[in-house]
């Protein structure tokens, strides 16, 4: 029987000079988004915003209605087989939003969709970025 874990995160974007840029965080071995465990008493949106604040120093993201992309995967840890579900929300920040990375990261980058798609490490992360990009196109 697998151990169940749930995390939440935010795909962050800004409009800079009319061009949409996405925030990626460098974890040292891979590039990904701000995300982390949903703590007891939190809902997914609250956890996602808390993780964004803790990992990127961003406290003023506006989560867009109508986008919640969930993925599930398995991995092995010291505790055994883990079934992890992660839900991502889509959040817009001001063009001048300051980023202050946590000790978990070594760098960050604001990238266009195509550049972010190339930089992000995992196929599942590429898929959620594509879903976010397509959602934004429908809003345009």
Q: What is the per-residue pLDDT across 32-64, written as a single tens digit (0 to 9) for each?
A: 999 999 999 999 999 999 999 999 999 999 999
Residue owning tokens 């701000």:
34
Name the pairing type of β-strands 19-26 and 107-111. antiparallel
Compute CA 56 distance to the chain's CA centroid, rounded to the nearest angstrom: 11
Give the pLDDT of residue 18: 85
Tens digit of pLDDT for each residue in 99-130? 999 999 999 999 999 999 999 999 999 999 99
CATH of 3-139, one of 3.40.50.720, 1.20.200.10, 3.90.79.10, 3.40.50.170: 3.90.79.10
**Contact criterion met (CB below 8 Å) for 88 and 132:** yes
Report the pLDDT value the prediction gives residue 16, as an integer from 0 to 100. Answer: 83
């Amino acid at each position: 029987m697998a151990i169940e874990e749930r995390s939440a995160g935010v795909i962050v974007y800004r409009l800079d000079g009319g061009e949409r840029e996405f925030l990626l965080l460098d974890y040292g071995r891979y590039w990904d988004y701000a995300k982390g465990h949903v703590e007891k008493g939190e809902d997914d949106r609250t956890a996602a915003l808390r993780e964004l604040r803790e990992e990127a120093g961003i406290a003023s993201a506006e989560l867009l209605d109508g986008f919640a992309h969930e993925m599930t995967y398995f991995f092995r840890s010291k505790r055994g087989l883990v079934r992890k579900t992660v839900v991502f929300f889509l959040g817009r920040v001001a063009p001048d939003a300051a980023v202050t990375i946590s000790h978990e990261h070594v760098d960050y980058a604001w990238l266009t969709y195509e550049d972010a798609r190339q930089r992000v490490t995992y196929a599942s992360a590429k898929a959620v970025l594509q879903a976010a990009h397509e959602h934004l196109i429908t809003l345009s």
